[in-house]
Structure 1
Amino acid sequence: MVNSEVYLTDVTGRDGFQMEKSWIETDDKLLILKGIIDAGIKRIEATSFVSPKAIPQLKDAKDIIKDLKNEELTLVALVPNMKGAEYALESGVDEINVVLSISETHNKKNVNHTVSESLEQVYSIRKLINSTKTTLNISLGTTFGCPFEGKYNVSKVSSVIEQLLENGIDKITLADTTGMANPNKVSYYMKTLRQKYPRAQFSLHLHNTRGMGLVNLLAGYNAGVRHFDASLGGIGGCPFAPGATGNVCLEDIVHMFMEMGVPLEHPINLLKLINTSNDMEKILGYKLPGQVMKAGSAGEVIKN
């Protein structure tokens, strides 16, 4: 019997904030992240240890991790290279998430390496953390296609996954970085990859670039995926992807699964998520793309 329980990772602190051009005060970031945690989310990709020149918004990574460190949380930090991994390890994160793209062109723009060079970095990082309690996850960007290289077959993704598995890495996130996926493609990819690599733990990191984020996520769930990334209010995107828009919205996902009767790993207070999303909207100063924060839960009864 396939486990129906859903595991959510909030990526507001990293993927969400990295696209914001105006500086968000560290205290405001922490206010938002603690609101998400208080609502019941226990796994947070809180920041990224990346060059401040590349992404100035995340220059307070060390302070964010230090303030959030808690035994009840799994704190994740994304890193692009060995130097970032060293900083993340020093800060005491629970998991390091290394990003590389399936697309050579996007990988070069995003982390300034070829795919082969990024894989070598991954293997070096694995050796670095081998004797620690820190776990390793690999995020494969542009899994479902790339605006620079177009659409490609699942075999292109398989070749990278096989190299990771051969090197003892089995936690893998498949990212639709620029919204190239559709429900049929997600379903086919995930059924194919889960059957081919049963020992891999696959997660989906989906963007709502063309308005298909939530239906793509549901297609992934129906294909057996149980681990998903999301950001509060649906904010975020890749700075090095043309036309990038936000992630699938955290509270919209929670609401959908609750309405469907699908169990979540931890009890989540939807109202607290909505309130935190509204607080974040005021801090950021613009209307967020999330839907449930505007309409409320479908289970609410409006009194005349």
Structure 2
Amino acid sequence: MPFRIDGLPERVTVYEVGPRDGLQNEKAVIPVEVKAEFIDRLADAGHRVIEATSFVHPKWVPQLADSGELLATLKRRPGIRYPVLVPNERGLDRALESGVDEVAVFASATETFAAKNLNRSLETQFDMFEPVIARALEAGVKVRAYVSMVFGDPWEGPTPIEQVVRVGTRLLDLGCHELSLGDTIGVGTPGHATALVEAFGDPSRLAVHFHDTYGQALANTLAALRAGVTVVDASTGGIGGCPYAESATGNLATEDLVWMLRGLGIDTGLDLGKLVATSVWLAERLGRPSPSRVVQALSKG
């Protein structure tokens, strides 16, 4: 029986990142047909947004070297969005060749992570993003923006809120339809999450992306929802993390998120039983149990 809390949305969109963010760190190469079935299972469970892959150079993320083949293999269902991550114009070229209609770019809120992840400064990263966003929009392709390290990074410590807002607002002004605020190393806490969302003023184009390094992902998500956010990134089974930040652990598990939202009477359109079954299926192929608490609890016996 759900118990609603005043001030929360009636519905939340779960932006599923498992096939991209979840699998990108896997060392053993996963067959493309397994990835395609994984995505189709997620669609069958009710997902309407599934980030399918990334057109990053294979040298940096070997697991996603099959992005073009995956999209050619994938049976795209009507009404479901299959965005892909593109790091630069070359990645955009490959994505457009594969017929995508939605892409995402990945920015940094801190100088050090911009240098380590993008080989750019906080300012010059936009020299890379501006033509990607402009060309995508000209082609009729929607663009989402991620901003990483929004609460802090391992080298600089806490990230100033005004710095995150400055980077994020610039990306929105360039034409991105949505901005995902990424707690890459999981150091955020609910008060900080609330303050960051409120600092943007209008939460209607914001999403949140929490990692559970310190066990705060669900608490932070609830705080963001109370501040007006209605889009939450999550990964099936809680798999994944950032390959360029050693202290980043798994993403918020989709099943844990859905369990909380269901208890609050918030609609997601997702079938929790099918999500759990998919995580169990995937765990068998990865050779290890799912880190999701809900998957562990519901799959026993």
Which TM-score bucket, shorter chain as reference? over 0.9
Q: Give the number of aligned pairs.
A: 293
- Give the gaps of 5 or more residues in structure 1: none
Verify: 1:291 aligned to 2:293, yes or no. Answer: yes
Runs of 4+ in 1 over 3 A off after TM superposition: none
Matched AA of 2:236: L
Deviations 1:176-195 (A, max 9, x none): 011121111001111221x2
Alpha-carbon distance between aligned partners in 2 of 1:124 and 1:39, rounded to the nearest angstrom:
36
Matched AA of 1:204: V
2:165 to 151, 158, 166: 158
Alpha-carbon distance between aligned partners in 2 of 1:109 and 1:200, rounded to the nearest angstrom:
31
1:72 to 79, 89, 106: 79
- What pairs with 1:208-219 in structure 2 (closer than 5 Å)? 208-219=212-223
Which position in structure 2 is the counterpart of 1:135?
142
Displacement of 1:201 in angstroms is 0.2
Deviations 1:232-279 (A, max 9, x none): 100000111022211100111111111111122xx2111111011001
Alpha-carbon distance between aligned partners in 2 of 1:262 and 1:200, rounded to the nearest angstrom:
17
Alpha-carbon distance between aligned partners in 2 of 1:45 and 1:240, rounded to the nearest angstrom:
19
- Give the gaps of 5 or more residues in structure 2: 1-6
Residues 204, 228 of structure 2: 8 Å contact kept: no
TM-score (norm 2): 0.92
Matched AA of 1:288: S
Which position in structure 2 is the counterpart of 1:255?
259
Alpha-carbon distance between aligned partners in 2 of 1:158 and 1:55, rounded to the nearest angstrom:
29
Alpha-carbon distance between aligned partners in 1 of 2:193 and 2:52, rounded to the nearest angstrom:
26
Which position in structure 1 is the counterpart of 2:270?
268
Residues 170, 199 of structure 1: 8 Å contact kept: no
- What pairs with 1:55-94 in structure 2 (closer than 5 Å)? 55-68=61-74, 69-94=76-101
Alpha-carbon distance between aligned partners in 2 of 1:166 and 1:251, rounded to the nearest angstrom:
33
Which position in structure 2 is the counterpart of 1:240?
244
Alpha-carbon distance between aligned partners in 1 of 2:203 and 2:217, rounded to the nearest angstrom:
26
1:122 to 121, 129, 138: 129
Which position in structure 2 is the counterpart of 1:176?
183
Which position in structure 2 is the counterpart of 1:39?
45
Matched AA of 2:245: A
TM-score (norm 1): 0.91
Which position in structure 1 is the counterpart of 2:281?
279
Displacement of 1:2 in angstroms is 7.5
Displacement of 1:207 in angstroms is 0.7
Residues 203, 227 of structure 2: 8 Å contact kept: no
Sequence identity of aligned pairs in percent? Answer: 35
Alpha-carbon distance between aligned partners in 1 of 2:110 and 2:131, rounded to the nearest angstrom:
21
Residues 170, 200 of structure 1: 8 Å contact kept: no
Provide the secondary structure at the position in 2 that maps to 1:45.
coil
Change in Cα spacing, 1:73 to 1:127, as seen in structure 2 (3 Å) is same
2:192 to 160, 185, 192: 185
Change in Cα spacing, 1:188 to 1:72, as seen in structure 2 (3 Å) is same
Change in Cα spacing, 1:9 to 1:178, as seen in structure 2 (3 Å) is same
Which position in structure 2 is the counterpart of 1:107?
114
Alpha-carbon distance between aligned partners in 2 of 1:210 and 1:19, rounded to the nearest angstrom:
20
Provide the secondary structure at the position in 2 that maps to 1:126.
helix
Residues 43, 76 of structure 1: 8 Å contact kept: yes
Provide the secondary structure at the position in 1 that maps to 2:53.
strand
CA RMSD of aligned residues (A): 1.8
2:208 to 195, 200, 204: 204
Deviations 1:132-191 (A, max 9, x none): 221011100101111111102211112212322443334211100111211110011112
Matched AA of 1:272: K
Alpha-carbon distance between aligned partners in 2 of 1:202 and 1:243, rounded to the nearest angstrom:
25
Which region of structure 1 is more displaced relative to structure 2, 121-130 or 201-210?
121-130
Which position in structure 2 is the counterpart of 1:52?
58
Which position in structure 2 is the counterpart of 1:8?
14
